[in-house]
Amino acid sequence: MGCLCVYNVREDTFSRAVKMKDDEAINSMAITSDETHIIIHVGLDNVVLVDIANLNEIRTLEALKPLLRLDKVYSLHGSMVVCNDKVVCISNETGSDVSSHFPHSISLVDVRTCDLKLFVTRSQDNILRVWDRARKDVQNKLPQQSNRIRKIISMENPRYALIRRQDKEQTTAIYEIYDLFKDDVIKRIALDTNVSEEVLLDDDDTLIVSTKKDKLKAISLETATIVTEFEGFLAPFYEVRAINGGNG
């Protein structure tokens, strides 16, 4: 079942919860650059546009229908990045113009970018690859480690990316700040919590994480400590996104 709501971090309040049409599950979502709409991937291959003010569905983005079995959708600088396990595509936020794409020979799991030029991809072989769109080739690789890569998180400074590593049997989440230019991890912290989802606020320090026990916490990367633990979350939640600089 797919259900959507907006949580105000400062006021500790929820908007009304809205179910998706036909009870389709929400797989991935992104906030548009002007923070007026939500782009949501639901079901097997539907991408819909939702009004953030009232959470009403506006339309289905039909141009993305040919990209069967989408896995991720992100919004950045008026553009949208979507991917499945074989290709990464760049489109406008209305989904009416898919401007460019590049194939990925090894089964793709996730992709992130801060400037739509340099991309970091995560593959089934547990290797991060850094792509330069202008050159269309792999620039660097971050080799395998004992903990599997679970998430790539874009940072405001496009030089860096935040990476979460965590094995299924472990309760500790390892976060690494990775310098894309130097091909090096410049900081590594371990959190004694089992993370299911997270979002990094625009200060590049405050990390909002949801845990397997359905708790929502704000953590400082600088000090590696819990700053705030939010109350009021009862049902499981699978996607967390920040709007208004992290106020919602």
CATH architecture label of 3-194: 7 Propeller (2.130)
Burial class (CB in 10 A: 0-12, 13-18, 19+), 53: exposed
Beta bridge partners of 196: none
Instruction: Please write the tens of the pLDDT for every residue from 181-210.
Output: 777 888 888 877 777 777 777 788 888 887
pLDDT digits (tens, 9 = 90+) for 208-244: 887 766 677 888 888 878 877 765 554 445 455 555 5
Domain-wise residue ranges, the chain = 3-194
Percent of the chain, pLDDT > 70?
75
Q: Give the CA distances from residue 50 to residues 35, 44, 46, 47, 186, in Å, rounded to whole numbers and listed in that order.
A: 11, 18, 13, 10, 38
Whether this prediction's pTM lies above 0.85 is answered by no
Are 79 and 91 a contacting pair, CB within 8 Å?
A: yes
Q: 216: left (phi > 0), else alpha (psi -120 to 50), else beta?
A: beta
Give tens-digit pLDDT for 29-67: 778 777 888 888 887 667 888 888 888 888 887 767 666
Tens digits of residue pLDDT in 72-113:
777 777 787 877 777 777 877 766 666 666 667 778 778 877
Percent of the chain, pLDDT > 90?
A: 0
